[in-house]
Amino acid sequence: MIPRRKKRLALVLLLVLGVATALSFILYALSNNVDLFYTPSQMLEGDTKPQVGQRLRVGGMVVEGSVRRDATTLEVEFLVTDTGPTVKVLYRGILPDLFREGQGIVAQGVLLQPDVLQASEVLAKHDEEYMPPELAEAMKGIKHVNPNAADAYTQPAGGN
């Protein structure tokens, strides 16, 4: 081979190796930060069950009558279900305003046991017709203007 071609080949191989190494580092970093979403049925009866110690998100409905609060601390425990099995969620902190029994939630945290999640964050779902009170008050004062009305637009001085 010509020395010039050998240098080009070595440069191309080095570039490919560098890109492959960088891509493998990126994929490794992303795999450690992925929080998979499960429903209680998928967690306990699904084909790919999460491992104890794994970070994940669980979504479902809060079971009626399952919320238990500690009177002296901010610790709360409740059950989440979808269509069958339930998962116990342990949380320490202030729950969202929309949190209540029978409401849909998503809890993010670490799996302590196959059916117990230590949550670091709890998000309460709401329906698509929800409107914050401040926005509802602001919307009351808005009058809708018909853009085709004669006085909606003014003619520039001079006619054209």
pLDDT in tens, 74-118: 899 999 988 788 999 999 999 988 888 888 888 999 999 989 999
Q: 48: helix, coil or strand?
A: coil
In this prediction, residue 65 carries a pLDDT of: 92
Please count the structural domains in the chain. Answer: 1
Residue 90's CB is within 10 A of a number of other CB atoms, namely: 15
Cα–Cα distance measured from residue 9 to residue 24, given in angstroms and rounded to the nearest whole number: 22
Show the tokens assigned to 144.
């809708």
In a domain, 89, yes or no: yes
In a domain, 59, yes or no: yes
In a domain, 42, yes or no: yes
Mean pLDDT of 62-69: 91
Domain that holds residue 54: 36-124
The pTM of this model reads: 0.62
142 band by pLDDT with thresholds 50, 70 and 90: very low
Q: Closest Cα to residue 57, out of 126, 123, 132, 142?
A: 123
In a domain, 67, yes or no: yes
Query: Which ranges constitute the DSSP H helices of the chain?
Result: 3-32, 40-45, 133-140
Q: Which residues of 99-131 are buried (b: 16+ CB within 10 A; e: fewer)?
A: beeeebbbbbbebeeeeebebeebeeeeeeeee
Q: 72: helix, coil or strand?
A: coil
Give the tens place of pLDDT for each residue, 1-43: 688 888 999 999 999 999 999 999 988 887 766 678 888 888 8
51 or 145, higher pLDDT = 51
Q: Closest Cα to residue 42, out of 111, 121, 118?
A: 111
In this prediction, residue 11 carries a pLDDT of: 93
In CATH, what number is assigned to the domain containing residue 47? 2.40.50.140
Residue with structure tokens 């190494």? 21
In this prediction, residue 119 carries a pLDDT of: 94
50 or 157, higher pLDDT = 50
Cβ-contact 93, 119 below 8 angstroms: no
